Each structure stands twice: as C-alpha cells, then as structure tokens.
Structure 1
Amino acid sequence: MTENETPEVPPTRSGFVALIGAPNAGKSTLVNQLVGAKVSIVTHKVQTTRAIVRGIATHDNAQIVFVDTPGIFKPKRRLDTAMVTTAWGGAKDADVVVLLIDAERGIKGDADAILDRLKDVRQPMLLVLNKVDRVKPETLLALAATANERVPFKRTFMVSALTGSGCKDLLDYLAETLPAGPWYYPEDQISDLPMRQLAAEITREKLYLRLHQELP
C-alpha cells in the first residue's frame, strides 16, 4: 500500500438471529452473554420470556440482532399457544435460526419435537449445545451427531451460556456469515425495548426470583 492509498474497509454486515429451544434451555442467558448486558430476564420459572425480545450485539464489522423467543413446548392453554406461535414466528422472520439444546437434558420431549419441525425451516440453521461444562465429551459428541442426522445444521457450537465459554466462536461465525448491509440500530444500542419497558422486565425478574407459590 502506498502512502496515498486508503486502506480497504470491510463491508458492514447485519442480520436477525432467532434463538429457539425448549423452555429453560438457556436462551435468555445466552442472549445476555452474547450482547454483554442484561436485555432478557432470567429466572427459574419456565416461560419467563413471554414475548420476543431483541438483543443487539456489535461484533467486528457486524451488527447481530438476537431474537430471544419464548420456549417451545406442547401448549395446554390459549396463552401457551400464543407464546409458541410467537416463537415460531420469530424463527420464520430471521436470517439465521439457532436451536439451543440443554446438553444435560439431551434430545427428548420438547427438544425432540422441535427437531422434527425444523425440517420445514428454510433459513440456515445452527445447533448450539448449552451447559457443556456439565456433560461428558462423549455424550456431547453423540448429541451433536444425533441432531445433525435429523436436521442439516450448518455448524455446531458447544457453549456455556452461564460462563461464556464458546460464545466468542459463535459470535465470530455469525459476524462472518450474516448478509452484507447497513446496521439496523445505532452502534451503542443493545436492545429494541424502550428503557421503561426494559426496567419493567427487570422488575418482573426480581418478583419471579422472590415469589414462588404466589405466582402462576
């Protein structure tokens, strides 16, 4: 490069990445870890996430908008049906779909049913096994092999959403493969929720953590 030449600037990339999975698979914890801030509440109760929450991560030249969806399970009530419909709607509108599986629980129940339905999804899909620090390596490899036999995942990642282990690999991959294009949000924005609503969500988290039988 000569003195008068301008260094080539890589193109910006941006896109929506939907995280789907069974209830309490760790989706909200993973979104918070990837964004680097609390944008989605986390409690011990299933279905804490009742609506789509978007967390925004800026990584290298890419803006990655993570869509934290409600857990997918067999609905029993009208509210359950609405939440599951919302979750699949978030996946349908995304550029990339990430299936998060709790490696401790394995592929059974809700996770098994989700894998069956993913066969109809047309977007690129990634498999992320969570809580890998609690599971033997041979078990993880068997889980990954079984899931990939059923669904054509582009890549498989093994992470601990709680500690952040493996999360950078996922961010690196998404930053390199999302579509080229302008960013959707300002660089310093971490969520699409208004501050008042974000504060209300954090208050709801505190109530869930303190109250048990009092809440449905």
Structure 2
Amino acid sequence: MKEQTFKSGFIAIIGRPNVGKSTLLNRFVGQKIAIMSDKAQTTRNRIQGVYTDETAQIVFIDTPGIHKPKHALGDFMLKTTYSALQGVDGVLVVVNASEPIGPGDRLVIERAASTKVPVFLLINKIDLVSHEDLLPIIESYRQEYDFDEIYPISATEGDNVPELLEGIKGILQEGPKYYPADQVMDHPEYFVVAEFIREKILLLTREEIPHSVAVQVERMQRNEDGKIEIQATIIVERKSQKGIIIGAQGKMIKKIGQLARRDIEHLLDDKVYLDLWVKVQNNWRERQSQLMDLGYRPDDY
C-alpha cells in the first residue's frame, strides 16, 4: 500500500474589516491566538496560525482588513495585507453573509484574483441568515468572480470548517513541516500578550477609545512567588483617553487587567501577575519612528 504523502503550504486569509477573519483563524488552530472585536481593523500585524494533523500542515496568514488608510498606521496595515499575498499557495476571501456585496468586497476579490493561485470564497456568518437566502447570496458572488470553491461557513459555530480544511489540503503540494506539530503561531508570546490586552481595551471602552491605542509589553519574567510577572504600557494619543482607560478610582484599568489576565493565563498555562501602566504619546500613529518602536516594522513582513 502506497504511503500517504505529507502536504504543506501557506494560505492567506483576506477580507474587508470585521468579516470574521480572526475568529476563523482561531477556529482553524483550535485556540485563541488572534484578537476578536466587532470594531473594524482590529488586526494590525500579519498573524500566522499553524494547523497540523497527520496528513498536512497549513500555515494561515491572517491579515488586517482591506480599507482606505487614514494615517501611517493604516498604510502599514494595508502594506502588510498585500505583502501576505506574495508566495502563498491559496487565498481565502472572507465575506459577511448578512451584508450585501460592497465596494470593499470587490476590492478584496480583485486583489485575490491577481495572485494566480486558487481562490476560495468563504461566506461567513451563515448562522445570521436563513437557508433560503443563502443560494441567492452564493449566486451574487458567482457573478463577481469564478472562484475555485465556495464555502458557506460559520467561524463562530464551526459549520463547514472541517470540509473547508479538506478542500484546502486538496490544493496543497507535498511539502515539509515548517513548524513543530504542537506550535500554533509564529509570533512570540510578548506579541500575543500585548494583543490580548489591546482586545480588552477595545471591548470595554467601545467608541471612547478608537484605534489610537497600542500596547507594549516591557517585561515578562517569573517572580519569587512562581507567577509570571508581566509589565505592560498602554499608549494613547490624548490625556482624555488616558483618563478613560484608568477610569473612576482605577476601575476601568482593573477590569481590563482582569479580563486580559484570564486569556494570558490560558495561553501560557500558568499563573500571571499583570501590571498595567498608561502613557500619552501625541499622534503616535502618524510617526514612523514610534510605529517602529511599537513593533510595526515593515521589514518584518
């Protein structure tokens, strides 16, 4: 009997902001590595998630949503997305089933079409629409582009995700394991810890703190009590935003810390002591040097 060959490859996940790309990445790898928020442009850096089973290793590249940039950070996010499409073996275009096709979706499809690799359309959030509405939605996207495959999915519920994984394996070539079988991401823990803290800020402050917030992990080491001690700085653009994040009697920053610590402990499988500070850096999103200091380095992508 012929031995089954092991396959591997790189798959980019693209789509306009807030269509569920990060939720899908977390679903693929079986745990939370990308932050999830209902605010647009949550993902800033290109995050690689790794799925491995007995037959294949798929390296998924989650990207910031494709949008019109308004500042230096926005430019960086867009360049990151476009660079993710270079050298991949396939592209997953994610759209929202509960919203009609818009100019943003068409731009994403156009970008994916230029890659000359298989392009799968994932119609996400099918749990939000009725079965009768699904066929017309699929048909409307068929008119836009001749996709290699179309999968209606729910990243939240996991509907059709196993079938999608099998479909992806079908387009991969024989290849090596790029990462150890138990590794699910390529970013260091510092990066993911900072992202978890930023997620809680977006979750708890809603519209009050937009994307003018960054998190820098200063230190991460085990203390004499055996806990992992993490010191992190939350960077905002205005003094008023600092007040919002700290909150009355420090209640908001305490809540941010509690929620973030829960996710970090789950990630590290260890007890964590989290110390948060807030610092104002005026217009940091416009300054290339500050973007570099905060980890947004174009050369890394």
Greater shift in the superposed pair: 55-64 or 109-118 = 109-118
Which of residues 185, 188, 191 is equivalent to 2:182? 188
Q: Are the aligned partners of 2:16 and 2:65 in contact in 1 as well (CA < 8 Å)?
A: yes
Mapped pair 1:94 → 2:94: no
Q: Secondary structure at the match of 1:211?
A: helix
Q: Secondary structure at the match of 1:92?
A: coil
Aligned length: 210
The Cα shift of 1:184 comes to: 0.4
Mapped pair 1:211 → 2:205: yes
Superposed counterparts of 1:37-186, under 5 Å: 37-186=31-180
Q: Which 5+ residue runs of structure 2 have no aligned equivalent?
A: 212-301
Q: Secondary structure at the match of 1:9?
A: coil
User: For residues 192 and 108 of structure 1, what CA distance do their matches in structure 2 show?
Assistant: 33
Number of the residue aligned with 2:220:
none
With a CA cutoff of 8 Å and minimum separation of 6, indicate the structure with the bigger relative contact order.
1
Q: Secondary structure at the match of 1:206?
A: helix
Q: Are the aligned partners of 2:202 and 2:209 in contact in 1 as well (CA < 8 Å)?
A: no
Q: Secondary structure at the match of 1:101?
A: strand
User: For residues 100 and 53 of structure 2, what CA distance do their matches in structure 1 show?
Assistant: 30
Q: Which 5+ residue runs of structure 1 have no aligned equivalent?
A: 1-6
TM-score, scaled to structure 2:
0.66
Greater shift in the superposed pair: 103-112 or 74-83 = 74-83
Q: Are the aligned partners of 1:59 and 1:171 in contact in 2 as well (CA < 8 Å)?
A: no
State the identity %: 37
Q: Kindly name which structure, 1 or 2, has the bigger radius of gyration based on alpha carbons.
A: 2
The Cα shift of 1:164 comes to: 0.7
User: For residues 164 and 56 of structure 2, what CA distance do their matches in structure 1 show?
Assistant: 13
User: For residues 200 and 81 of structure 1, what CA distance do their matches in structure 2 show?
Assistant: 21
User: For residues 80 and 87 of structure 2, what CA distance do their matches in structure 1 show?
Assistant: 11
Q: Secondary structure at the match of 1:144?
A: helix
CA displacement 1:36-59 (0-9 Å, x = unmatched): 011111112211101100011113
User: For residues 150 and 116 of structure 1, what CA distance do their matches in structure 2 show?
Assistant: 9
AA at the equivalent of 1:214: I
AA at the equivalent of 1:74: K
The Cα shift of 1:147 comes to: 2.0
Q: Which has the higher strand share?
A: 2
The Cα shift of 1:69 comes to: 0.3
CA displacement 1:119-143 (0-9 Å, x = unmatched): 3221110000001121133432222
Note closer, same or farther for the CA distance 1:117–1:195 as it changes in structure 2 (3 Å cut). closer
User: For residues 179 and 38 of structure 1, what CA distance do their matches in structure 2 show?
Assistant: 28
User: For residues 10 and 79 of structure 2, what CA distance do their matches in structure 1 show?
Assistant: 18
Q: Are the aligned partners of 2:118 and 2:171 in contact in 1 as well (CA < 8 Å)?
A: no
